[in-house]
Structure 1
Amino acid sequence: MAVPLDPEMFDELCPSDLSPIRFGDKWAGMVVRCLEGGPRRFSELRVPLRGVTAKVLTRSLRRLEADGLVRRSVLAGRVEYALTPLGRSLLGPMEVACAWAREHWEELLDAREGMATAAD
């Protein structure tokens, strides 16, 4: 049995939401991170991804599956999602992008705040 996902795995102000580098839709990178440790059921993914609706998470999983990054399996009536080898190959580039976002976090925040102030 897999170790349960940490409900606090993603900060509310997660750098992945701030980063201008996207892997698929808004939630795709976080889904990939959740599947890094092995297959997960939909309800397990909802724990750290509590900010996403079931409909949007389903759409994100379907897109990842269509792109060949995630495999959906039905085993004994249970649906599980797992990374494919292609999906696993995305983990390295994602880590580089996350490291870049952490390094430039303050600059990204300043730019976003500057845009919000200019819009007022």
Structure 2
Amino acid sequence: MEALRADMFEEICPSSLLPFRIGGDKWAGMVLRCLEDGPRRYSELRVPLARISPKMLTQSLRSLERDGFIRRTEYAEPVRRVTYELTGLGRSLLEPLRTFCSWAEEHWDELLDARES
């Protein structure tokens, strides 16, 4: 599996401007996108999600797990490690998420104008 790119999300990401949230969390959509290609470790998620504080990323992961969108798996041997992956329910959100992203791109200027006024 290919490593996540640090520039996966633009510096000015619409996540904070979108009028909708997944699980009430503005970062959840980006977390789901990071897990799209398979399981990831926390340290891997931190690369493209560096703008999110570790505390907020942990809260987002816990919230997504609680809501059944991701699965947390802990491995004890040989070295303790934890991975996060999409569940079937989480995977079913990817297509609507793509639609949300396309909508945000189309209406980016309008969203910015509305927030500034």
TM-score normalised to the size of structure 2?
A: 0.91
User: For residue 90 of structure 1, what is the aligned residue in structure 2?
Assistant: 93
Counting only pairs closer than 5 Å after superposition, residues 1-120 of structure 1 correspond to structure 2 as 2-24=1-23, 25-75=25-75, 76=77, 77-114=80-117
Segments of 4+ moved more than 6 angstroms: none
Whole-Å separation in 2 of the counterparts to 1:92 and 1:23: 13
Aligned equivalents of 1:90 and 1:84: distance in 2? Answer: 10
Q: CA RMSD in A?
A: 1.0
SS at match of 2:10: coil
Separation of aligned partners in 1, 2:59 and 2:14: 22
Residue 55 of structure 1: how far off its partner (Å): 1.4
5+ residue gaps, structure 1, are: 115-120
Larger radius of gyration: 1
Structure 2: runs of 5 or more not aligned: none
Do the aligned residues in 2 keep the contact of 1:9 with 1:48 (CA within 8 Å)?
Answer: yes
Distance in 2 separating the partners of 1:61 and 1:48: 15
Tell me the distance in 2 between the aligned counterparts of 1:91 and 1:15.
Answer: 17
* Whole-angstrom CA distance in 1 between matches of 2:55 and 2:14: 23
Question: CA–CA distance in 2 between the matches of 1:55 and 1:112?
Answer: 26
Q: Secondary structure at the match of 2:40?
A: coil
